[in-house]
Amino acid sequence: MRLLILSLLLGISLFAEWPQFRGNPSLTGVATGTLPPENLKLLWTWEGGESFESSPVIAGGVAYIGAGNGDLVAIDMATGKTKWKYKTGAELGESTPAVGGGAVFIGDLRGGFHAVSVATGKALWTFKTLSEIKSSPVVVGDRVLIGSYDQNLYAVEIKTGKQLWKFETAGPVHATPGIANGVAYVTGCDEKFRAIRVSDGKEVFEVASGAYTGASPLLVGSMAYYGTFGNEVFGVDMATKKIVWKYEHPVRKFPYYSSATLAAGKIILGGRDKMVHGIDAKTGKGVWTFATKSRVESSPAVAGNRVFIGSNDGRLYVLDAATGKKLWEYEAGSALSASPAISEGKVLIASQDGRVFCFGG
């Protein structure tokens, strides 16, 4: 009760939501509010029967996720029961839903971008791009941003689905844009890290990454962090528009597809070298690695000093952020390339064999 009263006085939510990919527009992957217990147990499993590459999000006591068969699904967090399903009419890939303004948004593999009522599961509008969408949407004020393989980043009006602007890059926009101080930051398949104004779609600057980038940027203060298919992780100062450091494992040269998080002063992300990497955020020096049995494409989520991350070896791992020591693991039985979501003291993750797992106390 004391904690509840204090939270109300300070304006802090005990049940902070996870309404989009990486939890928030800065793509930090860090949970706030009530954290999961140390001793996790499986609370429920939702059987979808379709592969999940999309990651779950959580808002208003409901989990949302896109299934491979094209269904956008709403699941009651308390019971694990289906609330509603919306059929997009096309297959869904890695695009993770975003919730805002009474709607849930998701992109499909035919280029459709859908807005669906959170209350009814009925279509509000559909916006059409010219190629597949694997990027995840980000809600910013009265608009929602989405990337497409037609090489454009779009800003679409939330209420109407009207295009407000588009910015054309030199390659598919695969990653999810990170937002900070009215600017969208996009890592690109055109080997560029771009800053684009949310208000009018004008480019502020670009930095050459030197390699294809599938991971989305982590934004913390003036810094952006992301891994590339050039087997490197970058720390970029957005104020000076310069790469401050580069990290490359001394032996294992593999791409980074996982998006990064920051915990215990470490930039943490998974690699296709079957390892999770902990990198000093100031210097870019490697501090620790944790080995799994398959590639790690899942993006980590942080709760306190714990890092939650899936591996294609079928396990959900919980690691100590400071040391990389394994604290707990769960055998899901199928590849976990999707990313965890944390809210209401619970952890959600989806598997490639069509199941959503919910862990808590």
Domains and CATH numbers, the chain: 2-360 (2.130.10.10)
Q: Give yes or no for residue 225 having a pLDDT over 90.
A: yes
Whole-number percent of the chain with pLDDT over 70: 96
Question: Which secondary structure element, helix H or strand E, spans residue 119, and what is its range?
Answer: none
* pLDDT band at 4; cut points 50, 70, 90: very low
Report residue 12 as tokens: 């802090």
Helical segments of 11-112, H only: none
Tokens of 24: 């928030």
Report DSSP letters for 144-168, one per residue.
EEEE-TTSEEEEEETTT--EEEEEE
What's the rounded Cα separation, in Å, for the pair 222 and 268?
Answer: 18
* Per-residue tokens: 104: 């849930």
pTM for this entry: 0.95
- pLDDT at residue 41, rounded to an integer: 97
Mean pLDDT of the chain: 94
Alpha carbons 21 and 12: distance in angstroms, whole number: 21
Rounded Cα–Cα distance for residues 320 and 303 (Å): 10
Q: Is the pLDDT of residue 15 over 90?
A: no
What band does 50 get if pLDDT is binned at 50, 70 and 90?
Answer: confident
pLDDT of 83 over the 80 cut: yes
Band (242; pLDDT cuts 50, 70, 90): very high
Separate counts of helices (H) and strands (E) for the chain:
1, 32
Nearest residue to 305 via CA among 341, 263, 250: 263
Tens-digit pLDDT profile for residues 266-321: 999 999 999 999 999 999 999 999 999 999 999 999 999 999 999 999 999 999 99
Q: For 147-174, how does the pLDDT look when each residue is reduced to its tens digit (9 = 90+)?
A: 999 999 999 999 999 999 999 999 999 9
Q: What is the mean pLDDT of residues 19-39?
A: 95
| pLDDT reported for residue 8 | 28
Whether the per-residue pLDDT at 202 is higher than 70: the answer is yes
